[in-house]
Amino acid sequence: MNICNTSSSNKYDLSISNSDEKKKILVVGPDWVGDMVMAQSLFKTLKGQNPDCIIDVLAPTWSLPLLIRMPEINQAIALPIAHGKLSLKTRYSVGRQLRVNKYDQAITLPRSFKAALVPFFAKISLRTGYRGEMRYGLVNDIKTLDEDILTQTVQRSTALAYNEELNAAPKVHQPKLNIDKANREWFIKDLKLQTNKPVIAFMPGAEYGEAKRWPTDYFRQLAEMLVSNGYRIWVLGSEKEADLAQSISDGYEEDVINLCGKTKLEDVIDLLSGVDTAVSNDSGLMHIACAVGIKVIAIYGSSDPKYTPPLSDNAAVIYLNMPCSPCFQRTCQFEHLECLRDIKPLDVFNRIY
């Protein structure tokens, strides 16, 4: 079990909280990047209610560099289990190790059975969460999820901070991540990135599926427009998006830079903080871009901007609200993808230029 102490300059250690007089809360975090960013609203709400409370987050290993940028978090604790796996022995072992922390409360964000196991094994007396799959006993402080009131993902996580049932949506706090400017400058220097022109970040990927991805050839056309008007493009994403990025950058190696697979999550956070604008699908990186405060153009297809909106006053949504959308499908059931193909590169360019 890796534990990341967020006050230790991004270094990982095995330190354990030892304060007995402050309320200790363990939050079981979500599995997706965007959901984890939005969960910061819950952390901010908990701190607003009790500034001295100690918040630890149990989360997938990949998310530790993200959680370390949230000042509300005391420790980010890695749960070394692949997405969707039960791994009962590992969950039991982690729970036993966490007993020493003597948490007063656990808040479990995912609604799955397996997500509620570690707080139970950790013998945390108050275990809060929504009614989910076969969780009676595991969750003993069961909240009602009223989808008519809590219409957004961020509202649903934030509402778990309250003891009482809510008859209105709670106040949502916009995420704000700490930036390591020194790391940003080092990374720019190490990769010899040029900053003598205004930089636009492209995030062409979407882990969920192609029905959330604006066509790659449209990103390419938008890049051509922007380069001809004096901009430089950084294409960001994981190694999975490297081929997408390459088809955007081919022939423009000096002004359209493919960084997919060349950055860690913490590097992306810092790099995004230094660009002028980000153009992104509805993805985890879109939510990160919002959380560093830059201008964001968020393109929605199969998903719903009312359900998972960009949490920023500096974000603009492009969404056609077609009769077949939002369908929340990974691929277009009609095979035309008009919800995205009918958003033309010029439409996006006009939001930037």
Predicted confidence at residue 11, as pLDDT, reads 33
Predicted confidence at residue 42, as pLDDT, reads 98
- Residue length of the chain: 353
Q: What is the DSSP string of 281-316?
A: ESSHHHHHHHHTT-EEEEE-SSS-TTTS----TTEE
Predicted confidence at residue 13, as pLDDT, reads 33
For residue 312, give both structure tokens. 């920023």
For residue 265, give both structure tokens. 């999550």
Over residues 290-319, the pLDDT tens digits come to 999 999 999 999 999 999 999 999 999 999
**What separation, in Å, do the N-terminal and C-terminal C-alpha atoms of the chain show?**
48
Q: Are 154 and 225 in contact (CB under 8 A)?
A: no
Q: Kindly report the backbone phi and psi dihedral angles of residue 241, in degrees, each rounded to the nearest multiple of 5, phi listed first.
A: -95, 10
Which amino acid is present at 136? Y
Those residues of the chain that have pLDDT short of 70 are: 1-20
Predicted confidence at residue 105, as pLDDT, reads 98
Predicted confidence at residue 82, as pLDDT, reads 86
Predicted confidence at residue 208, as pLDDT, reads 77
Predicted confidence at residue 5, as pLDDT, reads 64
Over residues 45-73, the pLDDT tens digits come to 999 999 999 999 999 999 999 999 999 99
Q: Are 337 and 215 in contact (CB under 8 A)?
A: yes
Predicted confidence at residue 63, as pLDDT, reads 95
Predicted confidence at residue 231, as pLDDT, reads 97
CA quadruple 125, 127, 44, 84: dihedral positive or negative?
positive
* Per-residue burial over 51-68, b = 16 or more CB atoms within 10 Å of its CB, e = otherwise: eebbbbbbbbeebbbbbb
Distance CA 19, CA 17 (A): 6
Predicted confidence at residue 6, as pLDDT, reads 59
Which amino acid is present at 294? I
Distance CA 208, CA 264 (A): 20
